[in-house]
A = this chain, B = another copy of it.
Amino acid sequence: MVRSPLTPEERLRGEQLGHMLRQARGERSIVEIAAAAGMSAETLRKIETGRIATPAFFTIASLADVLGISLDRLAVRATPART
């Protein structure tokens, strides 16, 4: 086994993250934010809907910057069991 598939919990974590990003976007359109963050609208939509469970760090960093939210907050709130 070279790389194990993502667990349901990891999928759920991705959904949580996407949900927070979608909330932070508010009224603005996907196209607008995606362009500002330097990514395609398709990709942003998939991240928001949780279909991309483990997006790249810089992808989320750029989004958080455009949306004006904290990466630390995103990480903490997306991981339920944080010691």
Contacts and interface: CB of A to CB of B under 8 A. Distances in A.
A23 interface: no
SS of A interface (majority): helix
A22 to B, nearest CB: 16
Interface residues of A, number: 21
A56 B58 contact: no
B58 A75 contact: yes
Interface in A1-32: 10, 13, 17
Interface in A61-83: 61, 64-65, 70-72, 74-75, 78-79, 82
A52 to B, nearest CB: 10
The 8 closest A-B pairs by CB, nearest first: A71-B71, A61-B75, A54-B56, A57-B60, A57-B57, A71-B72, A55-B57, A54-B58
